[in-house]
Amino acid sequence: MSKLVLLFLIVAAFHSSAQQARSSSWFKANEYCNYLGMRLAIISSQEDQAKLIEVLKSTDQYGTEEGNFHWVATGTRLQFTRWHPHQPDNGIGAEHCLELRYIPSEGWDWHWNDRGCSTSHYFACENVEGREIVLF
């Protein structure tokens, strides 16, 4: 079983709620989160990563930009990272977004991977004020 996550997250998930599964490109996911008055979540620490993983493990569902990676929602550069070895690699010159990947049999233990932004994945939005993460 593999789980891919578009990481647009600051996962400080004190509460979580799962909506109907919705797979979208980074662009559509960002638009949808904004429509809801939320933003794609951001991981800024090991604690945020652990909280996200906890939420993700409770469901079968699970985006940032490449080169000088930064969180689009805040414009801040990544301070905390958990890249898989040899990542980011900008495969075929078109991997400019970030996914969280869990495929233990292949050595992916919630590591980060750069991925094409047009690829559809499940995604998570966060409510900054309420610290609630919603998975789509």
> Which residue range forms the structural domain that includes residue 131?
3-135
d(CA 50, CA 57): 10
The predicted pLDDT at position 64 comes to: 52
d(CA 63, CA 123): 7
**Could you tell me the CA-to-CA distances from 99 to 40, 81, 85, 130 in Å, in that order?**
12, 12, 14, 24
The predicted pLDDT at position 121 comes to: 86
Task: Express each pLDDT in 4-47 by its tens digit.
Answer: 444 543 222 223 344 445 788 989 998 998 898 988 888 888 88
Q: Residue 18: is it exposed, middle or buried by C-beta count within 10 angstroms (0-12/13-18/19+)?
A: middle
Task: Express each pLDDT in 56-70 by its tens digit.
Answer: 776 544 445 446 788
Q: Name which residue leads in pLDDT, 8 or 98.
A: 98
**Which of 9, 16, 88, 18 has the alpha carbon at shortest distance from 47?**
9
Q: What percent of the chain has pLDDT over 70?
A: 74
Q: Is the pTM of this model over 0.75?
A: no
Give how many domains the chain has, as a whole number. Answer: 1
What pLDDT band is residue 54 in, cutting at 50, 70 and 90? Answer: confident
Residue 1 has pLDDT above 70, yes or no: no
The predicted pLDDT at position 85 comes to: 93
Number of residues that make up the chain:
136
CA neighbours within 13 Å on the CB side: how many for 69? Answer: 27
d(CA 35, CA 67): 28
CATH code (residue 88)? 3.10.100.10
Helix (H) or strand (E) run with residue 30 in it: helix 26-35
